[in-house]
Every structure is written in structure tokens, then in C-alpha cells.
């Protein structure tokens, strides 16, 4: 068995959800480091285009598979990212979403136990629900509606965290849990439905920019490259299992975000206000003290720079 915490060693690594926005960037990083990567994805919100440049690489393998069904692979590490992340996509088939989180976690953990692999869970700031503690620290238990339209995602991810800690305590499985705060960047789908891609695509097409509610709700936006660096640092250290927050503490209202996108794209698009979705968290901002302390990690790309790079991507992706 290879020492799975030594990045200089070539490992065989499974990434579930590897053809998605974040998963495909993680594939790039790990292939770039010389590892063998198995990318497992059912292509629900992922796409072949995200990994097309890797398909001829002998160290890369794509497997079309659903994490709800068990899978086998002799691997040293597993990153579990399979799950739609955008509210319209995870609410499209809510039962499927919760199955993906819960059964996907069980299948990853069972495999990790059998082959003695370290396993990483892409959890989320949604475990804090509509938070009453601000900024959010990892010891906050959250304020989640168990019955609402977001619950399939939030409770699925919370249950996955529980399973990870239970396999760790009961079976000594080596786990790492990251709580990701809103992350954006190239390779998001134009019809993803999350706010950054929506605003940019609307601005580039000259369509109305759709703010839900008054636009006073806040989010903290992390550029994908910072997040992937955080993933690698958490996975390849021996001090902590997590959960650990990874996100950019810069906090913006949706109105401020819309104004920045309008300025950077120089669009003539107008802001319109639509109904606020049910249970939409009013505020969100990570406390990243633990990531700084244990991983020596903090974000380096601030919002305007990340937006500029994402706008350039969508211009090219959409041929605008």
C-alpha cells in the first residue's frame, strides 16, 4: 500500500463527479501531478467537454457510472464529488439527489474500507442551512429545514458527513471532509442556474439580470483554483479529518454581485427582481481560521479578478 499522504508518490485516485465543474479541475490537477486518475460520472450535470483534453492521456480513465450503484477499483485515494450542486438541478429530482449523497457516500466509504484508501467528501456550507451564526464556524450545528425544497441536498450532505465520521470511528477509515462555500469559475454550465454563471451569461447575452428577492442576501464567492488548492492540502496532510471550511470570506449582496458583473461586462442588461426561492439562506460567509491554521491555506483570487476570468471563459464557450 502506498503512503497516501505523500504527494511525491504516484497514486491511483478515484474522483466521483469528475466530469463536473470542480471535478474536472481536480482531474487536471492530479493528472498534472503525475497520478493515475479514474473519473467516474453519470454525466447528469457534468459533460465530456470538461475532460475531453484528458481522454487520450494514458493515466486518465473515464467511467460512466452512477454512484448509487456500488463500484470497485484498486485505488489509494477517493474524492467523492458526485452530486448536482446547483439548486435547480438538485431539486429537479430531489429523491435522486438525496440517494446520490447518501448511497454515494456509503459506496465510497465501503470501497475505501476494502482497499484501505483515504476518502474525501465534498460537503457544503449548506449544512449550516440559513445560519444564525455569522460568519460560520465548523462547530456551528446549523439551522436546516428538514422538510423544504433544499432539504434533499442539505440533509443528504449532512447524512454523508455523519457516515464519514461513523466509518472513521467504527472502521478506522481515513476520512477528510471539506465544507465548500460558493465556488465559481470556468467550466460551469451556461444553464447551471447558480448565481455567478446566471448573471454573467445574462449580461453577455443582453438579457435581464435576475435577482431573486430584494438582493440583500449575501454569499462569499471562491474562485475554483483556490478551492482546488485547499482540497489538495486537506487530503494530503495527517493532522485533521475536518470538517474544514474552504471558501473566500469576502461577503457580497446579490445586488453588489450584479453591479460588478454589469460593470465588468459593460452590458446594457437591466436588473429585474424575481420571487425569492423557499429557504434561501439570508447570509453566508466562512470563518476560515481552521484552514489557515491546519492547511496554511487562504484564498488568493479576489472577486473582480475571478469574475473577469469567468467572463472571458463564457465569452469563448458561448462564442459571444
CB of 41 to ligand UDP, least distance (A): 21
Pick the binder of ligand NAD from 124, 217, 218, 220 (CB under 6 A). 124
Residue 277 interacts with which of ligand UDP, ligand NAD, none, CB < 5 to 8 Å by class: ligand UDP
Burial pattern 185-220, b for ≥16 Cβ within 10 A else e, equals bbbbbeebbbbbbbbbbbbbeeeebebeeebebbbb
Q: Is 260:308 a contact under the CB 8 Å cutoff?
A: no
Distance CA 156, CA 167 (A): 16
Binding mask 61-100 for ligand UDP (x = CB under 6 A): --------------------------x-------------
Residue 280 interacts with which of ligand NAD, ligand UDP, none, CB < 5 to 8 Å by class: ligand UDP
Q: Does 185 bind ligand NAD (CB under 6 A)?
A: no
Residue located via cell numbers 503512503: 3
Pick the binder of ligand UDP from 280, 294, 298, 309 (CB under 6 A). 280
Distance CA 310, CA 320 (A): 13
Pick the binder of ligand NAD from 12, 14, 15, 17 (CB under 6 A). 17
Binding mask 26-45 for ligand NAD (x = CB under 6 A): ---------------xxxxx
CB of 263 to ligand UDP, least distance (A): 17
CB of 168 to ligand UDP, least distance (A): 27
Pick the binder of ligand UDP from 12, 157, 219, 233 (CB under 6 A). 219
Q: Does 12 bind ligand UDP (CB under 6 A)?
A: no
Pick the catalytic residue: 79, 128, 153, 167? 153
Residue 212 interacts with which of ligand UDP, ligand NAD, none, CB < 5 to 8 Å by class: ligand UDP
Judged by beta carbon, residue 28 or residue 226, the one nearer ligand UDP is 226
Q: Does 83 bind ligand NAD (CB under 6 A)?
A: yes
Judged by beta carbon, residue 84 or residue 129, the one nearer ligand NAD is 84
Residue 138 interacts with which of ligand UDP, ligand NAD, none, CB < 5 to 8 Å by class: none
Q: Residues in contact with ligand UDP, total (CB under 6 A)?
A: 13
153 is catalytic: yes
Pick the binder of ligand UDP from 16, 45, 136, 217 (CB under 6 A). 217
What secondary structure does DSSP assign to the chain, as a single string?
---TT-TTS--EEEEETTTSHHHHHHHHHHHHTT-EEEEEE--SS--GGGTGGGTT-TTEEEEE--TTS------SEEEE--S--SHHHHHHTHHHHHHHHHHHHHHHHHHHHHHT-EEEEEEEGGGGBS-SSSSB-TT---B--SSSTTHHHHHHHHHHHHHHHHHHHHH---EEEEEE--EE-TT--TT--SHHHHHHHHHHHTPPEEEETTS--EEE-EEHHHHHHHHHHHHT-SS----EEES---EEEHHHHHHHHHHHHT----EEEEPPPTT--S---B--HHHHHHH-------HHHHHHHHHHHHHHHTT-
Residues that bind ligand NAD (CB under 6 A): 16-17, 19-23, 41-46, 66-68, 81-85, 100, 122, 124, 180, 182-183
Residues that bind ligand UDP (CB under 6 A): 87, 182, 194-195, 198, 210-212, 217, 219, 254, 277, 280
* Residues marked as catalytic: 153
Amino acid at each position: 500500500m502506498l503512503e497516501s499522504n505523500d504527494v511525491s508518490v504516484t497514486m491511483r485516485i478515484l474522483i466521483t463527479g469528475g466530469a463536473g465543474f470542480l471535478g474536472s479541475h481536480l482531474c487536471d490537477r492530479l493528472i498534472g501531478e503525475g497520478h493515475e486518475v479514474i473519473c467516474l460520472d453519470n454525466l447528469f450535470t457534468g459533460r465530456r467537454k470538461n475532460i475531453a483534453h484528458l481522454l487520450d492521456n494514458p493515466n486518465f480513465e473515464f467511467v460512466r457510472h452512477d454512484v448509487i450503484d456500488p463500484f470497485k477499483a484498486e485505488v489509494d485515494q477517493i474524492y467523492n464529488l458526485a452530486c448536482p450542486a446547483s439548486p435547480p438541478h438538485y431539486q429537479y429530482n430531489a429523491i435522486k439527489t438525496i440517494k446520490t449523497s447518501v448511497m454515494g457516500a456509503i459506496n465510497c466509504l465501503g470501497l475505501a474500507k476494502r482497499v484501505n484508501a483515504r476518502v474525501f467528501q465534498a460537503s457544503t456550507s449548506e449544512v449550516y442551512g440559513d445560519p444564525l451564526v455569522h460568519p460560520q464556524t465548523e462547530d456551528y450545528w446549523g439551522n436546516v429545514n428538514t422538510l423544504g425544497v433544499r432539504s434533499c441536498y442539505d440533509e443528504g450532505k449532512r447524512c454523508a458527513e455523519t457516515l464519514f465520521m461513523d466509518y472513521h470511528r467504527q472502521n478506522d477509515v481515513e476520512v477528510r471532509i471539506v465544507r465548500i462555500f460558493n465556488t465559481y469559475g470556468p467550466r460551469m454550465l451556461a444553464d447551471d442556474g447558480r448565481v455567478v454563471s446566471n448573471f454573467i451569461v445574462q449580461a453577455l447575452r443582453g438579457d435581464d439580470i435576475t435577482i431573486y428577492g430584494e438582493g440583500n442576501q449575501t454569499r462569499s464567492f471562491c474562485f475554483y483554483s483556490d478551492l482546488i488548492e485547499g482540497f489538495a492540502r486537506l487530503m494530503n496532510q495527517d493532522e485533521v479529518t475536518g470538517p474544514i471550511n474552504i471558501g473566500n470570506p469576502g461577503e457580497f449582496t446579490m445586488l453588489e454581485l450584479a453591479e460588478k458583473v454589469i460593470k465588468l461586462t459593460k452590458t446594457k442588461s437591466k436588473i429585474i427582481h424575481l420571487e425569492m426561492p423557499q429557504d434561501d439562506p439570508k447570509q453566508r460567509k466562512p470563518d476560515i481560521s481552521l484552514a489557515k491554521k491546519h492547511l496554511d491555506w487562504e484564498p488568493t483570487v479576489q472577486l473582480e479578478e475571478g469574475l473577469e476570468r469567468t467572463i472571458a471563459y463564457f465569452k469563448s464557450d458561448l462564442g459571444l
